[in-house]
């Protein structure tokens, strides 16, 4: 008997089959006071939209607390706030998450991190999901964030800043090539 090597597997395109759920894009319910949309597109290295990807978010509530029992400050969170969102990308690579702007969370050096959202990207051609952070361009505390400060090239740092829009923020994710989003090795 002769065995052949199994083909390598990438993430997707099965994402739209087994991972979506109706409430996925809603970290909070529509109509929640202070809710903002985070919208964007996932773009590949050729500049084409990724229509069969998925974006997941994890974040603190407006008080800087996580919806998790291991939060050292206690698991209290904003009522109706899940902290986790999941949006499939559409034909144009677009995604959308309705959430609340997070508060500052403790940093490892004893200071505070700037408000941010942790973002995971799953897409065809990826052997492992990609992880990045979304920071808000209108946050003065960005200058104090030790993680953001490690990205010293201004052009690269700009890939982590979400732009203010009428009803929230825009955060496009470029998987590779010119203008590639900064991804973290976690």
- Average model confidence (pLDDT) for the chain? 89
**Which residue did the predictor score with more confidence, 77 or 123?**
123
CA distance 144 to 12: 37
Span 81-125, pLDDT tens digits: 999 999 999 999 999 999 999 999 999 888 999 999 999 999 887
Contact in structure between 128 and 185 (CB atoms under 8 Å)? no
pLDDT for position 4: 57
- All structural domains of the chain with their residue ranges: 15-174
- pLDDT (tens digit per residue) in 139-163: 999 999 999 999 999 999 999 999 9
Class for the domain spanning 15-174: mainly beta
1 pLDDT more than 60? no
d(CA 68, CA 35): 21
- For residue 12, name the pLDDT band (cuts at 50, 70, 90): low
């Amino acid at each position: 008997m002769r065995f052949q090597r199994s083909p390598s597997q990438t993430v997707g395109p099965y994402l739209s089959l087994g991972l979506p759920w109706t409430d996925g894009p809603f970290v909070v319910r529509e109509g929640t006071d202070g809710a903002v949309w985070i919208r964007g597109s996932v773009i590949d290295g050729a500049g084409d939209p990724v229509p069969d990807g998925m974006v997941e978010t994890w974040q603190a509530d407006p008080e800087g607390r996580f919806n998790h029992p291991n939060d050292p400050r206690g698991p209290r969170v904003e009522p109706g706030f899940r902290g986790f969102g999941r949006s499939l990308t559409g034909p144009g690579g677009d995604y959308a998450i309705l959430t609340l702007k997070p508060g500052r969370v403790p940093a490892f050096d004893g200071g505070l991190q700037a408000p941010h959202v942790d973002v995971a990207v799953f897409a065809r051609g990826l052997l492992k999901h990609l992880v990045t952070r979304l920071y808000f361009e209108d946050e003065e505390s960005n200058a104090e964030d030790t993680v953001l400060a490690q990205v010293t090239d201004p052009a690269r740092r700009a890939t982590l800043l979400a732009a203010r829009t009428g009803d929230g923020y825009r955060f496009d994710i470029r998987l590779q090539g010119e203008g590639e989003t900064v991804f973290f090795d976690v």
